[in-house]
A and B are shown apart, each in its own frame.
Chain A
Amino acid sequence: MGKVKAKSGPLARRPDNSAFKQQRLPALSTMLTANTVLPFFYFLSLISLVLGVWLLLTVQSTQENVLQSGDVFFYYGLRNFHQNLRRYMISRDDGQMVGRKNRLKTPSSYCNPFIKGQNGLPIAPCGAAANSIFNDSFILYYHGSSASLARVPLLRQGLTWYTDKNIKFRNPSTGNMTLAQVFEGTTKPPYWQKPVYERDLLDPNNNGFINDDLIVWMREAAFPNFKKLYGVLHRANTPFTHGLPAGNYSIDISYNFPVQYFHGRKEVVLATLSWFGGQNHFLPVAYLVTSGLILLLAVVLTVVWWKFGKDGRNMEE
């Protein structure tokens, strides 16, 4: 074994004296000793405690501020809707939605059974995921001090990841044609009321495959209960410059999306955000519990060590 070295002489076959070959590589030898483990436990407990308290305070304070200041986000939520079924998730064609001309008319077989419409034309966008898009629309009204209803302005764009809007979803290049012309020869998904090129006739940057609602929907949720961003409060004008003022609100819902089929529920969520994302009580609580747990273990270990292992008593042979 090994390569034959071009050595000669009486010690020709002597192995090299390298640290690697002689297994003498310098190394840090680690062992769980009381000197390292116990301080580590106490330290970890402390860190968790600090993090937990900090997170908890953040969550509490943002909750209080929900209606006073800052950005307000409007979400719709679905319960018991399985966007995460395997067959549902793969039933889409990213190639089509990134605007590949050849894929537009010949969608991937993964889109089955929503590849071709009843008229035999290819569906754009194809697949079960796109077909089942959430199509309710909401209008939020503010019942201000006066009796008049003020429509709360919602920004319906800028709801998506930059990469989704600009790279993952692209319309086929139009050249000097209109979007509708480009999509000619395709048909809308069966459950859609309008074809994809009419999703937002006002803004070409929100029409077709790069429509924000479509993109948000196509980012499939990991769990059956999820919420998706519908709009962001537009704070340009009073009384909404500092967020939503206190008062009564009502929501006008145009109800299109059927949930009775799957025994699901819809919901609407208004939320403000903290520095670490949504108002999530789990993280702070989890950190606090963990901190307590570690502290408990640390104490137990300290006692055990004190009784048995101090000064290497347990290590005598």
Chain B
Amino acid sequence: MSFFGLDCFRKEERELERKLRANDREYNLSFRYATNAIKTSKYNLFSFLPLNLFEQFQRIANAYFLFLLVLQVIPQISSLSWFTTVVPLVLVLSVTAAKDATDDINRHRSDNQVNNRKVQVLIDRKLRSEKWMDVQVGDIIKLENNQFVTADLLLLSSSEPLNLVYIETAELDGETNLKVRQALPVTGDLGDDIEKLADFNGEVLCEPPNNRLDRFTGTLAFSGQKYPLDNEKILLRGCTLRNTEWCFGLVLFGGPETKLMQNCGKSTFKRTSIDRLMNVLVLCIFGFLACMCIILAIGNYFWELNKGSQFTVFLPRLDGNSAAFSAFLTFWSYVIILNTVVPISLYVSVEIIRLGNSFYIDWDRKMYFARNDTPAEARTTTLNEELGQIKYVFSDKTGTLTQNIMTFNKCSINGKTYGDVFDYTGQRLEITEHTETVDFSFNPLADPRFMFHDHALVEAVKLENPEVHAFFRLLALCHTVMAEEKKEGELFYQAQSPDEGALVTAARNFGFVFRSRTPDSISIVEMGKQRSYELLAILDFNNVRKRMSIIVRTPEGKLSLYCKGADTIIYERLHQSCSKLMDVTTEHLNEFAGEGLRTLALAYKDLDEEYFEQWKQRHHEASTALDDRGGKLDQLYEEIEKDLLLLGATAIEDKLQDGVPQTIEQLSKADIKIWVLTGDKQETAENIGYSCNLLREEMNEVFIVSGNSHEDVKQELRNARTSMKPDAAENSVFLPESVSGKSVKVMADEVVNGEYGLVINGHSLAYALERSMELEFLKTACMCKAVICCRVTPLQKAQVVELVKKYKQAVTLAIGDGANDVSMIKAAHIGVGISGQEGMQAVLSSDYSFAQFRFLQRLLLVHGRWSYLRMCKFLRYFFYKNFTFTFVHFWYAFFCGFSAQTVYDEWFITLYNLVYTALPVLGMSLFEQDVNDVWSFQHPQLYVPGQLNLYFSKKAFFKCALHSCYSSLVLFFIPYATMQDTVRDDGKDVADYQSFALLTQTCLLFAVTIQLGFEMSYWTAVNTFFVLGSLAMYFAVTFTMYSNGMFLMLPSAFPFIGTARNSLNQPNVWLTIFLTSILCVLPVLTYRFLLIQLCPTINDKVMFKVRQAKASPPPPPRRTRIRRTSSRRSGYAFSHAQGYGDLVTSGRFLRRPAISRSSGFTHAGRTTTGFSPMGRSAGYSPTGRPQNAKVPDVEVMSLQMYRTITDAAL
């Protein structure tokens, strides 16, 4: 749970705008703004009981039992003693109450801790240490480094140059990178001068409390001037101050009104399909209960008319009640007696089972990732069985399928490739973990984690091959990476995209160490020698240019331009002299691309001093131009980036996570459809699709939809469908538009011959998701084995999930790792977050989390399948045992004048569900497995019955009821026939009511226990203990309840004294028990055996195989990585986000006019942390500033922090 306690109340009052004045408590108090105290707890000592009970009785089951209790208090109706209902109800209520109480105590504790934190507040012109909860709106507070931000603040001043502060927003959005905030210059001038701050009387007029984390609007009025306020000047509660000595802030929102607390609204409560089915069934059961009671009441009416009136001699009617009134009372009496068809323990048991199965997920070592010490976690404990029914998996790509780790794998320098390892015969070797790596010990600054296998490259570097040196020099210079050197020689790179990081790291290891940068210089260590290059210009990367260049002056004074970019782009700008090298390099590039590597071409040129001066002049003019600045700059860049000389090419591997292809293959064998939704560009996504086995060469066709208009997309989708199913083309002109616009209907799956794949582009997807076309899209997509959507926005991800949810009656799962996946994780039935990486946002909103994509197959095929199996077996058995129990009452009614006499002892009724039958069925639902995990993986088809809802459905429920009906007939009439005219072997009574009750309940218990034995296919010692123990328990409890002592203590509560002793020693009692057991079991056994013989299910088949094999099979052979060797696919390696160029160079303009505090170097070091990237390439701006206005505004829901999706093509 969050440190700040995320369960909180939302304030309902509406405030239109907020007005406050600094340092003026009286003025601010007049608005009655909330103070900074938070309260996330629900109860206090006195309100706990009433409030908690009130909440609990809002649940239908509990309310129903309360209603029963009320009925039982009415003596005319009460057919069961009060304790039969009170005992279970109290048990259930107290368990829940205890859980709620501990939760609330924890919340109290965290509230107290948070409220009592100290912060320095400016009061009466002095800084005073105050508790957080005493801070009020309008106060000025001082924060120090590493302190939590107390409330939502307007940043006034800070210790850092330019009034910058650095904050970490992990509590808010889970991202651990630092962000920058900057105060207004006018308030920044206040500095840390207490007097000045105390005199500050600015008035803020701003938006009312809301939950938008990325937006703030307001104005500050100070000394007659008005200043606009935006999000960049606001520190939100929940952030932590970093790398900033101190700062002062003005409290704008306190406590419950802060954006953090406003954001902790209830997350939507997910329910499983079994839950929904169960609710429907419970309603059906209520109806059925009413029917039974009505029948019995009518029976009572006629009985009272005919026989009852004659019996009044012995049993006078009270107050002359008529038969009709008696029937009315009987109706309610039977409502009480037959209440066990809706057992209160059902819900409790279901929760326990789910909790248990969730614990198994937490405990699973095979879902534990040792590398970053991350176990799997079931964050929701109520969805387990749904894991066994997944039909669609929506997966993110970056960080989910891929590791988001780029490794510098190969390169081509001056027409020679490096990176492959050959054996002595010249055969290329597969690189494995055991392949010998290159020793970089000659270089003290090398990154020890970097691996390279080809020794030739190191040799070339050591031999001072000029091209190789130039190659690495380029890599060390031409980038926007920031270096951080915390200790001498320990370098950390912070790269905007992992590709860049990989390239710079490669250069570092090969002896060209990028060490530090200032806005106008770059220091590198070249083969041990420190050299400083003057940075003259960065020609930054963007989507259109697809390249970046850098112009530097070497220490020797030579001017050079280094350029790297997409091969096609670079090739257009090369000097003719390179044409030969181009051909060779092209060959290499094709080879790299065929292996699924991301390639990049490198080139350079030396510049003429004069030309550059002139160019620089024009550059300056262009960059200050008022109109079309971008266009002019582009033109200038274009001009200087020509006649380049090719150096070579790099090949970077976008590393897949371990086991991804195998997992995808397994899941598709289990008939799970996998859709990849990624922000990447089409080529990259397609490439990954192939390398992770989602798209295959064997596929009949992979359709690509990338139309740019409504009609194009429609046509492309239709074409795809026609080629998949030519005959289906005529039978409809593809759903008339009118149909598709109508309300929800369920779409059936269509069977297609052959395997197809679909790749759809973001802009086409936007059209495809329009109302008029969504069905068309869905139909086509669902006919394909694999679907890849590229360049999708987070919102589109959610839309795709919603679309499938809406029209397909299928369970969906979304898996992702980043903030951009939050929407789909929340939208899907089940959300899975990849944990253990930077950014916890996805995990925080997920239902399950683990560290590796490959664990998904274990989660679904093992845990999910078992959970579903267990839950269904549990429900089937639970309904069976309770129906059987209850129906016996129904039959007895015909013999006892419909007088609502129970068949069993009241204690038995009380304890049946709680004690006698609780543990065996719980044991089954916690331990049951049809086949073990290895076999589950071996036969992924075992998963299919879950998708089809085969184990528990209305039909299965109906079968249960029928079975119960049969059992109850046996259980009533066999004892009836044997007992009604019999006596004990000494002539004494055994046909009395009490003996009959004991006999029937014993028969019942044996019958349901044996039935459980047949349900269970996995007998652990625990199960055996539970089953036998429960039977033993029954006898122990029964003999105790029927003992002399209990009777003498409370004669009226334990009237069954001696019954057990006097009837359980009778042979005919046991003969009856045996007979009923046989007769109850017989049809079940026959039916099941016939089913297995005639139409065995997949489970039967696998279980049979297991029995034949006797031993578990060897683990499935690991498939070697499928490598593509065909057409060239990959283009260039850059992520499609705007580069950092601006930020890198902007230091120049950021610097204070008269800087005295820090030397350039440390300053730069500090600044870099402010720009640290988010560790992923998927196009997020680290500062949260929109970079592309064309992107539709993505709505920010609750805590998620979608930034912009920079996609020029959109």
Question: Once bound together, how far apart are the Cα atoms of A71 and B986, in whole Å?
Answer: 9
Residue of A nearest to B987 (CB): A73
Q: Are A87 and B1062 in contact (CB under 8 A)?
A: no
Within 8 A of A (CB), among B348-406: 358-360, 362-366, 368, 370, 373-375, 377-378, 381
- Asked whether A214 is an interface residue with its Cβ less than 8 Å from the other chain, the reply is no
- Asked whether B79 is an interface residue with its Cβ less than 8 Å from the other chain, the reply is yes
Q: Are B980 and A223 in contact (CB under 8 A)?
A: yes
Give the Cβ gap from A258 to chain B, nearest Cβ, in Å: 7
What chain B residues lie within 8 Å of A287 (beta carbons)?
1071, 1075
Assuming the A-B contacts A1-B377, A85-B899, A94-B1055, are A26 and B989 also in contact, with contact meaning beta carbons closer than 8 angstroms in the complex?
no
What chain A residues lie within 8 Å of B895 (beta carbons)?
84, 222-224
What chain A residues lie within 8 Å of B314 (beta carbons)?
88, 128, 131-132, 261-262
Assuming the A-B contacts A32-B1085, A128-B315, A286-B1075, are A277 and B1066 also in contact, with contact meaning beta carbons closer than 8 angstroms in the complex?
yes
Q: Are A222 and B996 in contact (CB under 8 A)?
A: yes
Question: Once bound together, how far apart are the Cα atoms of A276 and B375, in whole Å?
Answer: 62
Residue picked from B981, B1066, B1075, most chain A C-beta under 10 Å: B981
Question: Once bound together, how far apart are the Cα atoms of A161 and B1064, in whole Å?
Answer: 13
Question: Once bound together, how far apart are the Cα atoms of A86 and B896, in whole Å?
Answer: 8
Assuming the A-B contacts A48-B1078, A290-B1075, are A87 and B374 also in contact, with contact meaning beta carbons closer than 8 angstroms in the complex?
no
- State the total of A-B contacts with C-beta under 8 angstroms: 304
- Asked whether B463 is an interface residue with its Cβ less than 8 Å from the other chain, the reply is no
- Asked whether A83 is an interface residue with its Cβ less than 8 Å from the other chain, the reply is yes
Give the Cβ gap from A217 to chain B, nearest Cβ, in Å: 10
CB 8 Å contact bits of B308-325 with A (1 = contact, 0 = none): 001101111010000000
CB 8 Å contact bits of B1007-1024 with A (1 = contact, 0 = none): 000000010111111110
Question: Once bound together, how far apart are the Cα atoms of A274 and B870, in whole Å?
Answer: 48
- Asked whether B266 is an interface residue with its Cβ less than 8 Å from the other chain, the reply is no
Q: Are B980 and A14 in contact (CB under 8 A)?
A: no
Q: Are A55 and B1071 in contact (CB under 8 A)?
A: yes
Q: Which among A1, A88, A220, A232 is the interface contact of B992 at CB below 8 angstroms?
A: A220
Question: Once bound together, how far apart are the Cα atoms of A175 and B364, in whole Å?
Answer: 72
- Asked whether A6 is an interface residue with its Cβ less than 8 Å from the other chain, the reply is no
Question: Once bound together, how far apart are the Cα atoms of A27 and B1106, in whole Å?
Answer: 14
Q: Are B1055 and A317 in contact (CB under 8 A)?
A: no
Q: Are B368 and A14 in contact (CB under 8 A)?
A: yes
Give the Cβ gap from A104 to chain B, nearest Cβ, in Å: 13
Q: Which among A28, A84, A108, A167 is the interface contact of B1047 at CB below 8 angstroms?
A: A167
Binds B, one of A180-188, A237-245, A305-313: A305-313
Q: Which among A91, A222, A316 is the interface contact of B315 at CB below 8 angstroms?
A: A91
Q: Are B927 and A15 in contact (CB under 8 A)?
A: no
Q: Are B1020 and A25 in contact (CB under 8 A)?
A: yes
Question: Once bound together, how far apart are the Cα atoms of A98 and B977, in whole Å?
Answer: 33
- Asked whether A268 is an interface residue with its Cβ less than 8 Å from the other chain, the reply is no
Binds B, one of A16-24, A118-126, A145-153, A200-208: A16-24
Assuming the A-B contacts A84-B901, A128-B315, A312-B1108, are A282 and B364 also in contact, with contact meaning beta carbons closer than 8 angstroms in the complex?
no
- Asked whether A229 is an interface residue with its Cβ less than 8 Å from the other chain, the reply is yes
Q: Are A276 and B315 in contact (CB under 8 A)?
A: no
Q: Are B991 and A226 in contact (CB under 8 A)?
A: yes
What chain A residues lie within 8 Å of B984 (beta carbons)?
277
What chain B residues lie within 8 Å of A164 (beta carbons)?
1058
Residue of A nearest to B982 (CB): A278
What chain B residues lie within 8 Å of A25 (beta carbons)?
927, 1020-1022
Question: Once bound together, how far apart are the Cα atoms of A14 and B1058, in whole Å?
Answer: 55
- Asked whether B990 is an interface residue with its Cβ less than 8 Å from the other chain, the reply is yes
Binds B, one of A135-143, A247-255, A293-301: A293-301
Q: Are B983 and A273 in contact (CB under 8 A)?
A: yes
Q: Are B983 and A277 in contact (CB under 8 A)?
A: yes
Q: Are B1067 and A276 in contact (CB under 8 A)?
A: yes
Give the Cβ gap from B765 to chain A, nearest Cβ, in Å: 38
Binds A, one of B29-37, B681-689, B872-880, B1089-1097: B1089-1097
20 A–B contacts from the bound complex (CB under 8 Å)? A1-B358, A10-B370, A13-B375, A22-B364, A27-B1018, A27-B1019, A30-B1017, A37-B1085, A161-B989, A163-B1061, A167-B1047, A167-B1048, A167-B1057, A216-B989, A219-B992, A263-B310, A276-B1066, A290-B1075, A297-B1086, A315-B1100
Residues of A bordering B, CB below 8 Å: 1-2, 10-17, 21-34, 37, 40-41, 44, 48, 51, 55, 71, 73, 75, 80, 82-89, 91, 93-95, 98, 100, 108-110, 112-113, 128, 131-132, 159-164, 167-168, 216, 219-229, 232, 258, 261-263, 271, 273-278, 280, 282-283, 286-287, 290, 293-294, 297, 301, 304-305, 308-309, 312, 314-317
Residues of B bordering A, CB below 8 Å: 75, 79, 307, 310-311, 313-316, 318, 333, 358-360, 362-366, 368, 370, 373-375, 377-378, 381, 866, 895-897, 899-901, 927, 929, 932-933, 974, 976-997, 1014, 1016-1023, 1044, 1047-1048, 1051-1052, 1055, 1057-1058, 1061-1062, 1066-1068, 1071-1072, 1075, 1078-1079, 1082, 1085-1086, 1088-1090, 1092-1094, 1096, 1098, 1100-1101, 1103-1108
